[in-house]
């Protein structure tokens, strides 16, 4: 995408005004006043936020900035699980539900705060027993089950660095992530459930740990009956391992700047980036935003539909809500199984009050029609939220009317794996402008600039940048500090999000999309290079180029252009074979929906594929500047 790819909206802005009671009862109160207060004294602002969590030892400085490296809450000591669990159990939430889980067939599991704490301690002790120490990496490759959350928190309890890999990734992607992180243990399950079918996760892990010499043990949650066999000595049973462990495990005392987790996100090269988040800043950032942006209150029953395998799941299924002592609903359920009414049935039956989902899901529901949501009582809902890609005005309006019943504010949150926490939104109680994510939250300073870093005039497009460090920011890219520095050096010493945006005359920001070779498909970031390298690893493929083309539901879909090796003929069968190959290598989310066999690809003189040209041709657009085009 380039700056010219979008039209600046010219029509007079239309706002949706929430009922004044929302602002009166919100944690944020008056957004403008809160933002002003931050600007007047940023240090004091973050000191107050940091005081909302408990520290074993107080920090002695708020922040050190040594461009482009920030350290937050220096010398402060804490453990995020003490803040997520112990303090709530101590302070009267012991019997409050922490996690409601629902499986695809309606089966349920419930964990109160005290039960969750005990489970986490048991698994933490089990990890210790098999040799996991502070600083070791543990890969978690699981379906959305409560044990996934237990495993994450158990790592954090003992200071091990978790690297959660989304359960929809294939062998190649998993192997790459295990190897890059040097994970000592992999925690998995035998199967994950999808639309009534069991997907064999364990067999994917078996293949992915070949060639991954760092792995000493694979812990398997056995859900299926009869239980799958554990093959090698390396494989251990999740439940048995926990069973005999004590339900008490003292939290490791972590420095604010110790790593908490790493999470891989797709990059523009074939290698994903291991984004590093740290204990102190991440805890403060997610506690703050969950409370003030999602506006969670003591009695809320909160549902975020993200998988904990992505950053949204880390920050707003697991850490943020638990830091706030909230009740979280999680489910393995897909939105259309057994029918497209299932999510609305869940909202009715569990009395969900705050509902956080993605535009791709909203558009899917729009397409099947409101007759599905109309069957259920959605009156428990108080706040709606969205993340992952632009929430287009049509989807905003449908969500507002048919789910929120013209009553619930929609909080469209813009942020990234790298930012760790919300950055831009329309705070609860503020007027909402469809198509625009909103304004920076207090604590965040943003702008829209040209390539040289000069602010663009309101109404014009440019690059979205962040001007000040924030506590939950990534600290580096694992084993690739140069890549980290690039975030801050591409444009004039500010953080470049690599998103294109327009700043409206009213100060609201509209996020348009990526400015690089990432494609967002159904809210998931896919690197073109990752798919291309999967394609060329197939015997029949000489070269491949991948582009995103617009899709009314998924936002984008993937189209691949493939040059075959001499002697191979393009056929439908080969197309199916290539799609399967990508599915197995990268995962189902990266499968091209269309494949075209071609004889050549447009390249620059230096041999770089010009995806922009392929895309323009595909969509019948102006080719733009092609002076560097060789072929």
Tell me which residues touch ligand PRX (CB under 6 A).
265, 311-312, 387-390, 412-417, 437, 497, 499, 511, 514, 520, 525
Report which DSSP code applies to 535: H
What is the token pair recorded at 241?
């391992």
What is the token pair recorded at 484?
């980290």
Contact between residue 589 and residue 521 where contact means Cβ atoms under 8 Å apart? yes
Q: Which residue has the tokens 């705050």?
A: 354
**Length, in residues, of the chain:** 631
Question: Rounded to an integer, what distance in angstroms lies between the CA atom of residue 66 and that of residue 504?
Answer: 33
Q: How far is CA 295 from CA 160, 382, 442, 445, in A?
A: 31, 10, 14, 21
* Nearest CB to ligand PRX, comparing residues 45 and 166: 166
* Nearest CB to ligand PRX, comparing residues 241 and 387: 387
160 CB contacts (<8 Å, ≥6 apart)? 127, 132, 133, 134, 135, 136, 137, 138
* Nearest CB to ligand PRX, comparing residues 333 and 417: 417
Question: Rounded to an integer, what distance in angstroms lies between the CA atom of residue 605 and that of residue 608?
Answer: 7
> Which of 491, 504, 297 is CA-nearest to residue 383?
297
Contact between residue 461 and residue 512 where contact means Cβ atoms under 8 Å apart? yes
Nearest distance, CB of residue 312 and ligand PRX, angstroms: 5
* Nearest CB to ligand PRX, comparing residues 424 and 574: 424
By Cβ distance, which residue is nearest to ligand PRX? 417
Contact between residue 179 and residue 225 where contact means Cβ atoms under 8 Å apart? no
* Nearest CB to ligand PRX, comparing residues 500 and 534: 500
* Nearest CB to ligand PRX, comparing residues 76 and 390: 390
Q: Which residue has the tokens 């890549």?
A: 483
Question: Rounded to an integer, what distance in angstroms lies between the CA atom of residue 74 and that of residue 65?
Answer: 11
Contact between residue 189 and residue 223 where contact means Cβ atoms under 8 Å apart? yes
What is the token pair recorded at 570?
């393009």
* Nearest CB to ligand PRX, comparing residues 147 and 517: 517
* Nearest CB to ligand PRX, comparing residues 235 and 412: 412
Nearest distance, CB of residue 556 and ligand PRX, angstroms: 11
* Nearest CB to ligand PRX, comparing residues 196 and 552: 552
Nearest distance, CB of residue 548 and ligand PRX, angstroms: 12
Report which DSSP code applies to 527: E
Nearest distance, CB of residue 231 and ligand PRX, angstroms: 34
* Residues β-bridged to residue 188: 141, 220
Report which DSSP code applies to 7: P
Nearest distance, CB of residue 525 and ligand PRX, angstroms: 4
Contact between residue 105 and residue 138 where contact means Cβ atoms under 8 Å apart? no
Element of type H or E holding 499: strand 495-503
Give the residue ranges of DSSP H helices in 389-538.
393-398, 481-489, 528-536
Nearest distance, CB of residue 391 and ligand PRX, angstroms: 6
Nearest distance, CB of residue 289 and ligand PRX, angstroms: 11
* Residues β-bridged to residue 219: 187, 236
SS3 assignment, position 156: helix
Question: Rounded to an integer, what distance in angstroms lies between the CA atom of residue 379 and that of residue 17?
Answer: 19
Nearest distance, CB of residue 413 and ligand PRX, angstroms: 5
* Nearest CB to ligand PRX, comparing residues 191 and 502: 502
* Nearest CB to ligand PRX, comparing residues 110 and 445: 445
* Nearest CB to ligand PRX, comparing residues 252 and 447: 447
Nearest distance, CB of residue 545 and ligand PRX, angstroms: 21
* Segments of 27-121 assigned E as strands: 61-66, 69-74, 77-78, 97-102, 108-112
């Amino acid at each position: 995408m380039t700056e010219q790819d979008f039209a600046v909206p010219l029509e007079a802005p239309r706002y949706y005004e929430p009922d004044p009671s929302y602002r009166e009862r919100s944690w944020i109160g008056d957004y403008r006043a809160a933002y002003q207060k931050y600007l007047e004294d940023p240090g004091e602002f973050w000191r107050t936020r940091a005081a909302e969590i408990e520290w074993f030892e107080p920090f002695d400085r708020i922040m050190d900035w040594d461009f482009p490296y920030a350290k937050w809450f220096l010398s402060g000591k804490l453990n995020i699980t003490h803040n997520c669990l112990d303090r709530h159990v101590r302070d009267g939430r012991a019997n409050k539900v922490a996690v409601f889980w629902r499986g695809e067939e309606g089966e349920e599991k419930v964990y109160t705060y005290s039960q969750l704490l005990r489970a986490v301690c048991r698994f933490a002790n089990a990890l210790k027993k098999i040799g996991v120490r502070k600083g070791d990496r543990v890969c978690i490759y699981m379906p959305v089950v409560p044990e996934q959350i237990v495993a994450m928190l158990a790592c954090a309890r003992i200071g091990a660095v978790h690297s959660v890999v989304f359960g929809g990734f294939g062998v190649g992607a998993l192997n790459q992530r295990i190897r890059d992180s040097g994970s000592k243990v992999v925690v998995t399950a035998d199967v994950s459930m999808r639309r009534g079918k069991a997907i064999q996760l364990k067999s994917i892990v078996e293949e992915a740990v070949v060639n991954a010499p760092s792995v000493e043990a694979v812990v398997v949650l056995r859900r299926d009956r009869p239980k799958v066999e554990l093959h090698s000595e390396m494989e251990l049973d999740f439940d048995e391992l926990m069973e005999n462990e004590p339900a008490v495990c003292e939290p490791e005392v972590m420095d604010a700047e110790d790593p908490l987790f790493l999470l891989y996100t797709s990059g523009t090269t074939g290698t994903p980036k291991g984004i590093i988040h740290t204990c102190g800043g991440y805890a403060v950032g997610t506690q703050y935003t969950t409370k003030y942006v999602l506006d969670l209150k003591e009695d809320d029953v909160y549902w975020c539909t993200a998988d904990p395998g992505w950053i949204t799941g880390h920050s707003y299924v697991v850490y943020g809500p638990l830091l706030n002592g909230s009740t979280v609903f999680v489910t393995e359920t897909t939105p259309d199984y057994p029918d497209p009414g299932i999510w609305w049935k869940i909202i009715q039956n569990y009395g969900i009050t705050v509902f956080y989902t993605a535009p791709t899901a909203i558009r899917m529901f729009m397409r099947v029609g409101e007759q599905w949501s109309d069957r259920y009582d959605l009156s428990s809902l108080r706040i709606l939220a969205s993340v992952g890609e632009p929430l287009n005005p049509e989807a905003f309006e449908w969500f507002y009317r048919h789910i929120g019943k013209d009553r619930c504010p929609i909080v469209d949150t813009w942020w990234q794996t790298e930012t760790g926490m919300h950055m831009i939104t329309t705070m609860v109680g503020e007027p909402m402008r469809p198509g625009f994510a909103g304004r920076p939250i207090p604590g965040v300073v943003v702008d829209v600039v040209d390539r040289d870093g000069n602010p663009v005039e309101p109404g014009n497009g440019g690059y979205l940048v962040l001007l000040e460090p924030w506590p939950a920011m990534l600290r580096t890219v694992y084993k690739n500090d140069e890549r980290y520095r690039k975030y801050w050096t591409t444009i004039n010493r500010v953080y470049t999000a690599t998103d294109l945006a327009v700043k409206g005359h009213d100060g609201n920001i509209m996020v348009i999309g990526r400015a690089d070779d990432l494609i967002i498909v159904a809210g998931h970031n896919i690197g073109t290079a990752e798919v291309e390298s999967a394609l060329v690893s197939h015997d029949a493929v000489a070269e491949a180029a991948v582009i995103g083309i617009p899709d009314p539901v998924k936002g984008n879909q993937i189209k691949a252009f493939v040059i075959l090796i001499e002697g191979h003929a393009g056929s439908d069968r080969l197309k199916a074979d290539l799609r399967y190959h990508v599915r197995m290598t990268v995962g189902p989310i990266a499968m091209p929906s269309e494949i075209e066999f071609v004889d050549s690809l447009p390249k620059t003189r230096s041999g770089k594929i010009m995806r922009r040209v392929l895309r323009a041709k595909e969509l019948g657009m102006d080719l733009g500047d092609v002076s560097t085009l060789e072929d």
